[in-house]
Structures are given as C-alpha cells and as structure tokens.
Amino acid sequence: MPPGSDTSAAAVGASAAPAAPPRPGRAARLAALARREAARTGLAAATGTGLAFAFPPYDLWPLSVLAVAALALLTHGRTARQGAWTGFVLALPFFFLLLRWLNVVGYDVVFGLSAAEALFVGALGAGLAVTSRLRGWPVWGACLWVAEEWARDRVPFGGFPWGRLAFANTHSPFTPLAALGGAPLVSFAVALAGGLLAFAGLAAWRLRGSGAPRGPRPLLPPVEAAAVAVAVTVAGYAVPVPTKADDTVNIAVVQGDVQKPGMDFLGRPMMILNNHVDATLDLARDVRAGRVKRPDLVIWPENSSDLDPFQDKVAYARIDQAVRAIGVPVLVGALVDHPTKAGYVYNEGIVWDPKTGPGASYTKQHPVPFGEYVPFREELSKVVSRLQRVPRDFYPGDHTGVMKVGPARLGDVICFEVAYDEIVRETVNAGARALVVQTNNATFGRTDQPEQQLAMSRLRAVEHGRAVVTAATSGISAVVGPDGEVRERAPEFTRQVISASIPLRDGTTVADRAGAAPEWALAIVGLLSCAAALLTGRRKRPDQTMDKKGQQ
C-alpha cells in the first residue's frame, strides 16, 4: 500500500459521511429567543386580562385559579429575572382593568397605581421561578402568593389590598375557609389549587413527550395532582360557618343619593345632608302611618353630612330634626374639623340620640393616601396641581369603631377600611356584634368599584360570622348575612331606605382567634422557600462547573 494511503482512505470516508448541520448563528439564536419570549409575554398579558374578569362585577372566580396555574407554568424553570418580568407583565393589565374606576381622577393615575402594584407581582414571579426548582413547588408558590399580598397590603403608605385572590372568591367554594384563616387562607387555597393544576399539566406534558407507556401507573402523578387540586377547591364545603343569632335588631339604612357621580359629587353645600334628612323624615311619616315598623336604629352613610354639624348650626339643626322625628338613635357620617390642628379633618361616624344629641363617635383609622390626605403635600403640590382637589388632610383615628347604637353594639368600619384585615378583625374582637360599613362611593358611581367593595363585605361576613350592613350615599347599600349572602340591596343613584332585621352574634370564629398568625406563617414559609432554593442552587454550581470541565 503506498505511503499515505491510510490518510487518503480516511479522507475519502470522511468526505462520504453526511455533513453535520451548521450551527445557527448568533443572530438566528437571538431571533428565536425573542420569538419565544414574545409569546411568553403575550400569554402573561392575556392571563392578567383574564384574571380581571374573576373579580366583580363579572365574578368568574374559576379564572383566578387558572391565572395562578398559568403564572406557575410561565415561570417554571425560568431565571428570577425572567420570572419577575412575566409576573409584572401579567399584573399590569390585570390591575389596569381592575382599577379602571380611578379614571374619574385620570387614566395616568390608573396606570401609575397599576404599575406600582404590578411590581409586587413581579417580585412574586421571581420567587415562583426560583422555587420551581424545589420539590413540592406548588405549596411554596401558594405561600409566596400570600407573602406578596401581605406586602402589598402594608406598603407603601399603609398598602392597597385591592386585587387579592380572596376578593375574587367571596362567593365560591373557597369562601368558607375565611372562617378558619381569614382572607389569607382563602388566597392560599386558591393559589395552591392553581399550582397543583399547573403541576398536573406539566407532569402530563412531560409524560407525553417521554414516550413512556400509557398504562395507569405513569398517569398517576398528574391525576393525583389534579385530584388534590379539586379537593382543595371543595374543602371549604366542610368548614362550618357560624350563623346562629344570639339576638336580633331592626335597622333602617338610609341611602339619600347624590345628584351626580364623579369628583364633584358634593354639589352645593347641604345638598347631600338634605337628601338624607328628607329620606329619614319620609321614613318617620311611614312609621307614624303604620306602613313601616319602627326600627331600633337608623344608619346613615359616610359623608351623609357634607358640613361639620358642630361648626354649622343649620347642619346640626337638620340632623337633630331628622333624629327626633324618627325617635331612635341614628349613626351619622360626617366630616368634623380637627379641634386643634388647622387644615385637618376627621371622617367620623357619630351616634346621634333623639334626646341627648351627638354622643360616641368613631374616626376613620386608615385615610386613603392621595384621596383623603396627601403625603409630602408641600413638595408634591409644586409639581402635581391636581392634588389641590384634596384641600384638607384627614386625620386618622386611634381606636376601633365599637359603639352602642340603641340596643345594639355595632362595629363601625368606614369605606376602604373593609379591605384591611386588621381593622375589621380588631373591631370584632373588641366586641362588635354586627358590622357597619359606612361608605361614600359617589366619586366612583356607575363603575366597578361599588361591586368590588360589596364583595369584600361578603367575605368579612363569613370571616367573622357577623352580619355586615353597608350604608352608601349613592349605592350600593346592602345587608349581608353572616353566611355572606346579600339579603337586601339598594340600586345605585336612587333614594331608598332598606328596612331589615339583622342577627347579632357574640361568638368569634377561628379566624378571629387566630388573628394574623396564619398570614405571617404562610408568608414566612414562602420567603424561606426562596432562600432554600437559592442556597440549593449555589451548592450545585461547583459540581456543574466540574462536570463541564470534565467533558471538555
């Protein structure tokens, strides 16, 4: 064989072998990655849009479970940064649609608040991506949902709880769980059911792609996960919701109405007060004529007096006239000037007796930032002229709203305070036998906001085993039983008086006794799971590096 023949044969053999496909260039790889990320981003935005329809007035609560499942799948196996982007993209359209009732102030406010709230869900997405590497990740993901809501309910400026998973499930199989662990336990159960569905879907997909035999055993993990998801969903039906009354009281809720919705709902001075006075005088005439049974007490809404009755003699006289005519105590909502701090005002519920006049009162503890007070007013007013529409800052109260109104010991909660777990729970634990939510939704009339707030009252009723009476200037006024069912309601922008008998209860629920402990425990577990995932990932990196070097 001539010299070099081996080399020539090898060359011939090599030339005869099929050539390996060329590796895609960097530009092609980046283009493929961009297409995948664009699809993922689009799916996240679509999921957030769908999640908004889980909330009132649509109440398609199963969408909340599916949205959790979708976010779990979209963040599974991703980096923390990718998970954060996915969470933010999901949350931005969700909050924009949920909070679009703020457009009466401006769409820039809707977008700004939506973006701020979406940052929290971005952090959640990062946590979901990191913990998806751990065994049992649906559980850790559900805990992270609670941690995200815990943070969003508290910061900044006392937080903004709108959009919690629990508030989409105020009339669903999950609702009774509120009697055990409050809104946080409801959110946890919804998130756990969604995470388990994601686990089942991912397991089924991997099974399908692995080519494993399709006997009953390989299908068991996804089937088991789906079955547990269903079990979590219906577990609330096994929870007893306490509703037995220790006593009853007859009430009348006066919805006096306003002339127009929006930022200028107040109109001219005395207009709203006169509406509530006149409606109460009509009620008194009906009582005297025997057409209506005399109530034991009457409830007016927040801001039913648009003037300080202690400063304006005409306003005082009109309220006193109405209370004396009906002959029973009236819980009056009024704005009262701060006695020592100029420029500050109290948002109060005042018990007005037909014989002794104004007595006990409750001052709203949690004024709404930028709606009832302006943080950093001096600095921000220089650049945001719109803040001048909040001319005075509301001064917060320092105690619960438990007051004796006639024969009943009621707990007063004013407007947005119904969204905050701690305020409502402390009111019940202080001895409230029923809850009253005095509210003024006229600014957001004919939007989704009144329905969303009423849904919170329904959840609170189940959580605390208490009847909840919502008194609104323009609607929706309603009476909710301890089981969360709406027994009476008045439509928006009508003058109407609701007469009803409500149960009074002394017993407390497990949620009342447990307090914030379940929320703290679940949130801490979620954060610890993130720490565990990060530590586990760091320990694996040196081994992975050595493997790569050994393969080179």
266 pLDDT tier (thresholds 50, 70, 90): low
Is 530 a catalytic site residue?
no
Q: Does residue 282 lie in a domain region? A: yes
DSSP calls for 222-285: HHHHHHHHHHHHHGGGGS------SEEEEEEEEE---S--STTTT-STTHHHHHHHHHHHHHHH
254 and 210 co-located in one domain = no
- DSSP assigned state of 294: P
219 pLDDT tier (thresholds 50, 70, 90): low
- Of the candidates 125, 54, 133, 144, which has an alpha carbon nearest to the alpha carbon of residue 94? 54
542 and 496 co-located in one domain = no
Q: What pLDDT score was predicted for residue 259? A: 80
- The Cα–Cα gap between 435 and 464 comes to 9
537 pLDDT tier (thresholds 50, 70, 90): confident
Choosing from 143, 148, 415, 492, the catalytic residue is 415
Instruction: Tell me how many domains the chain contains.
Output: 2
Q: What pLDDT score was predicted for residue 211? A: 55
472 and 451 co-located in one domain = yes
- Asked if 364 and 348 count as a contact pair (C-beta separation under 8 A), the reply is yes
CA-to-CA separations, 321 to 209, 283, 295, 327, 352, in angstroms, rounded:
78, 13, 17, 10, 11
pLDDT at 264 over 90: no
11 pLDDT tier (thresholds 50, 70, 90): very low
Q: Does residue 150 lie in a domain region? A: yes
375 pLDDT tier (thresholds 50, 70, 90): confident
pLDDT at 307 over 60: yes
Q: Does residue 509 lie in a domain region? A: no
- The Cα–Cα gap between 70 and 64 comes to 10
Q: What pLDDT score was predicted for residue 12? A: 44
128 and 233 co-located in one domain = yes
> Can you tell me the mean pLDDT for 8-29?
56
- The Cα–Cα gap between 367 and 18 comes to 75
Choosing from 302, 372, 417, 519, the catalytic residue is 302
pLDDT at 214 over 70: no
Q: What pLDDT score was predicted for residue 390? A: 80
> Can you tell me the mean pLDDT for 519-544?
84
CA-to-CA separations, 350 to 82, 365, 382, in angstroms, rounded:
52, 15, 36
169 pLDDT tier (thresholds 50, 70, 90): very high
326 and 401 co-located in one domain = yes
pLDDT tens figures, 400-453: 999 999 999 999 999 999 999 999 999 999 999 999 999 999 989 899 999 999
pLDDT tens figures, 317-341: 999 999 999 999 999 999 999 999 9
Sequence-separated (6 or more) residues with CB below 8 Å from residue 213 = none
- The Cα–Cα gap between 48 and 124 comes to 14
Is 302 a catalytic site residue?
yes
Measured in whole angstroms, the distance separating CA 324 from the mean position of its chain's CA atoms is 40
pTM score over 0.85: yes
Token look-up 């079955």 returns: 227
Give the residue, 33 or 5, on which the prediction is more confident.
33
- The Cα–Cα gap between 134 and 218 comes to 21
> Can you tell me the mean pLDDT for 540-552?
45
Residue 450: strand, helix, or coil = helix
Is 379 a catalytic site residue?
no
pLDDT tens figures, 43-102: 999 999 999 999 999 999 999 999 999 999 999 999 999 999 999 999 999 999 999 999
Beta bridge partners of 348: 334, 363
pLDDT at 112 over 70: yes
Residue 502: strand, helix, or coil = strand
Residue 21: strand, helix, or coil = coil
Q: What does the buried/exposed string (b/e) look like for 93-132 if buried means 16 or more CB atoms within 10 Å of the residue's CB?
A: bbbbbbbbbbebbeeeebbebbeebbebbbbbbbbbbbbb
Q: Does residue 511 lie in a domain region? A: no
308 and 178 co-located in one domain = no
Q: What pLDDT score was predicted for residue 373? A: 87
Choosing from 364, 372, 463, 519, the catalytic residue is 364
Q: What pLDDT score was predicted for residue 273? A: 96
pLDDT at 267 over 70: no
Q: What pLDDT score was predicted for residue 380? A: 76
pLDDT at 542 over 90: no
Q: Does residue 151 lie in a domain region? A: yes
88 and 165 co-located in one domain = yes
279 and 361 co-located in one domain = yes
Q: Does residue 510 lie in a domain region? A: no
222 and 264 co-located in one domain = no
Q: Out of 93-97, 131-135, 219-223, which region has the weakest mean confidence (pLDDT)?
A: 219-223
Q: Does residue 2 lie in a domain region? A: no
pLDDT tens figures, 377-386: 877 777 777 7
Which domain range does residue 369 map to? 247-504
265 and 340 co-located in one domain = yes
Q: Does residue 29 lie in a domain region? A: no
Q: Out of 105-119, 267-281, 396-410, 488-502, which region has the weakest mean confidence (pLDDT)?
A: 267-281
299 and 218 co-located in one domain = no
Angle, helices 62-75 vs 26-52, to 10°: value is 160
- Of the candidates 393, 356, 346, which has an alpha carbon nearest to the alpha carbon of residue 374? 393
- Of the candidates 95, 67, 87, which has an alpha carbon nearest to the alpha carbon of residue 187? 67
Q: Cβ of 440: how many Cβ atoms within 10 Å?
A: 23
Q: What pLDDT score was predicted for residue 400? A: 97
203 and 111 co-located in one domain = yes
The domain spanning residue 254 has which CATH number? 3.60.110.10
